[in-house]
Structure 1
Amino acid sequence: MNGDLSYLIEDEIRASQIKTLVVDDDRDLADLTATFLEREQGAFETTVETTVAAALDRIEEIDFDAIVSDYDMGRLNGLDFLERVRTEYPDIPFILFTGKGSEEIASEAISKGVTDYLQKETGASQYSVLANRLLNAVEKHRATETVKRSERRFSRLVENSTDVISIVGESGAFEYVSPSAERILGYPPSELLGEWVFDYAHPDDRQEAMEKFFAAVENPEIQPTVEFRFNDPDGEWPVLQSRGRNMLTDECIQGFVINSRDISDLKEQEQALRQRNEQLEDMKRAISHDIKSPLSVASNSLVLYDETGDDELLQKVDRSISRIEGLIDQTIALVEQGTDVTDSDRISLTDVCTAAWDMVNTNGAELHIDNSREFTADPDRLQRVFENLFRNAVEHSGSDVTVSVGTTNEGIYVADDGPGIPEEDREVIFETGYTTAVDNTGFGLPIVKQVLLAHGWEIDVGESDAGGARFDIAGVEFVSSVYK
């Protein structure tokens, strides 16, 4: 402990009361010791007891900072007292202040954990010695307790931190990993020690992470932040954000300190927000483009009607209004899908497809359902998915189309025997507003994709065995393994 810190602690001790228990079977000697201690150091506040039993009771009542005890006190001596104190208070300063001294007693006292051993002498100077030794013992004890509290506080903070704190050597190997690693990364710290950090980074992210790390090793002024995918014990790749600081020259650290946190949820939210913003931009463009045409038809038709009185012009107005209403309905439907699924139930493919088919004007088209199985989903929103897929098949294929729905090991498929979707259009059919049908809004398939993404599923389009369109929905986890 350096001198400045020692003086600070001593000043703090002197400024506060040091509660001291003095135990001696000779009441006069005990009172004398207490009086001299209080006169010698104003910080001492003494309590006197003449038996070990009474002293033990008093310890239960008062939180003492130090104990001064005689040795020879009848049936229970000072060493018996020390032994009993140490069972409950292993660190409290305890000074054996005795007139019966011997190497044997001193040795036994040390073995039982005495803080100091002082033999009584004649003259008042002995009390100055006792006071200084008490003061030093209390100073050391309080300093030790302060360090322990700091260590416990630091340990609790590190264990419960939302970050993983690690120290990496100059070569990139883990030298320290905080206990939070097991909760956040899935690895106990002992399993990571000595491992090369970059072995856990995704191959596509490893080079950037290494370049930033070694640049900071060369230049301590650089404090890099790196985002990379981390290989956890389950083979998953959570996204970590790591902030580093070069402390290689710090004699206590001698390493590169890295704070890492799992930002996978944040990245997913950012991605969902980007998709939502892109969707809204697409909607804005589609609406501004598609709504102008029916508005123009309605407006010009009314002008001509005022001039000619031709009722067919009013029919054009009616069709234009219907077109605008359809755009509004589909826009509302798309916005209401959101990005989260909160109402899930166990449903069967047959039930949801039958309900959806009944809601579509199929004009004599046929529906075949194969290998129906059960899974968990939002029934209402998933029904809208199949309504839009069925409507898309009928509108682009005609009333003689056959739509087939079924399950595979990978998920669900919806296929038809219509003309299919040209390969060059398959990348854009899920964009808001895209359509090849004159009276279509172009919102049906974007709604399909949005609902499936909200379920955590993906959709892909290709060609069916009959040469028509085929939509494959991946990521569905079936509850039942039996086809129904």
Structure 2
Amino acid sequence: METAPPVVRVCYLGGEPDRGETVADRLERADGRFDVELAADVDEALDRLAECEFDCVVSERGPRVDALDALERVREAHPNLPFLLVVGGESDETVAAALDAGATDVFRRGPETGTHGVLANRIAAVCAHEATDLSYRTELLDEALAIADVGAWEYDVETERLAWTAEVYRIFDRSPNDDPTLEGALNGYHSDDRERVREAVKRAQGGEPYDLEVRIDAADGDPRWVRTRGEPRFEDGTVVRVRGTVQEITERKRRELAVEALHDIATSIQTAETVEAASEQTVAAAADVLDFHMCTVVLHEGDWLVPYATSEDAPTGGSRRMRTDQGLAGRTFQSGGSYVIDEVNGEESDPANPSYRSGLSVPIGEYGVFQAVSTEPAAFDEEDIELAELLVSHTANAIDRIEREAELKRQNERLDRFASIASHDLRNPLNVAQGRVELARTERDGPHLEAVDRAHDRMEALIEDLLRLAREGEAVTETEPVDLAELTRDCWRAVGTDAATIAVDVDGSVRADRRRLRRLVENLLRNAVEHGSTSSRTESDDAVEHAGDDASITVGSLSDGFYVADDGPGIPEDERDDVFEAGYSTSAEGTGLGLNIVARTAEAHGWDVRVTEGERGGARFEVTGVESAD
């Protein structure tokens, strides 16, 4: 007579209620020995475990269950009870964390393992083995971590026995028949990192966990990167084992190092003095950092994409002039999108060399295209695209700066020519005319000569303002710290009148071209005086006694600049954008260039200027984007 197999009592934790009942029913049908009890959450499971003896806990994540939290709480109350964690799409990090936290086994549901018969067999195996047996744990780690590319190891402090999973053997290029030792394992690390790992393992044996990213020596001579972690295991307060994982991270590390290198190269590319130099540095960086040994930069010139730089390893004729609608380069330029071509199609891609089998193509902003090619198919991926886009973003910034500087230089040259005309070709005839008027007065004076004299004075003012406008339009190249309050008071002494008072409420210094900032402030003050009231007021340096309807001007601070406000009639809202235009003036005596000079001076410094309504009415001119010198 056969003896009935012993009943295996299973506490099944988690899952949807209906699903839990289905799992319990099918497990019992798959293996008649099973007696499965359901627990909706970890508190209920702990209550059941306290009431009667179970052979195993099986847990999966559910609406009321965090599987890792459940594992930790069950381990606290029942440290030796077998615990099987059932996972689905959880990450490999979760699997490693569960094993590290003391799970006896991890069962991953999938197309080939999703049947309840397979799960029943796994539960029976867990219950039939001692969870503390080193070889059994190693076998389970092998099975659970194989998919994760994470190798596991365990070192027994007392016996000095080291056990590896198959993935660790693969990572270290060791034969599965080798019997690993701690010293042998340490010698597998790169000589520059070996001592760090040795010290970390020593600390782990003393109770301190570690997590390192280090290199290992590879058979091909190229160091590979791994992430290695170690966690001490205690019994009665003493470390008896150190358990850890090893995961190869070579590709991720290479990417991180490439990104760092590209950021370092950015300064060099972005400070290039010519477009050709920026292009040459781009292809050199692509070859040195990204291993794109055949690459080119083609830039837009009219209807063409013209080669500006080609890497040294590219074949003769490896890059050529192409129309902006031609081939992959043209498609990239016109669409502004990046492309990876795994297999070059001659008709669509139109390669410059028939040996090219694959390539990538990335736009350089609006300026052109960067391309890398290979004689092997499928040599590039999306990560290569991301790195290439990072590289050429620096190239685009460099070209943008170079072109802006070239335009500013051309603009300054035009302004210099204009200033020369205004200074000589206009002023010389004016001086002759003024002299003739003075001679005419010796013979006969009269209202007609006075009118001519006034016209000459206005022409003189116009010429002077035109010269200033030309000078203020030039880009500011050198700045110095300027005490804004001190400069404002100097300007007021040149502009001020008994009919107006000023309150200066600014502190600190700003970085500016002192001469041109003085002209800007003088023009704003002069505008405030001309458009404010005309009756007198008592003046002080920093404060004003307000009385009557006299003009009052305030110069105050903003978070990134300053303002000049008056209490005059103000500027209608629909005219505020017009006041900065050349020739705009509400006064018959004005040239209409004063506020235009203010705008041009602000623009030359990289500042913004706008007009709004002041707190007491009137006009308030705000200058922002000003760099503090404090």
TM-score bracket, normalised by the shorter chain, equals 0.3 to 0.5
What TM-score do you get using the length of structure 2 for normalisation?
A: 0.36
- Greater helix fraction, Structure 1 or Structure 2: 1
RCO greater where, 1 or 2, for CA within 8 Å and sep 6 or more?
Answer: 1
Compute the TM-score of the two structures, normalised by the length of structure 1.
Answer: 0.45
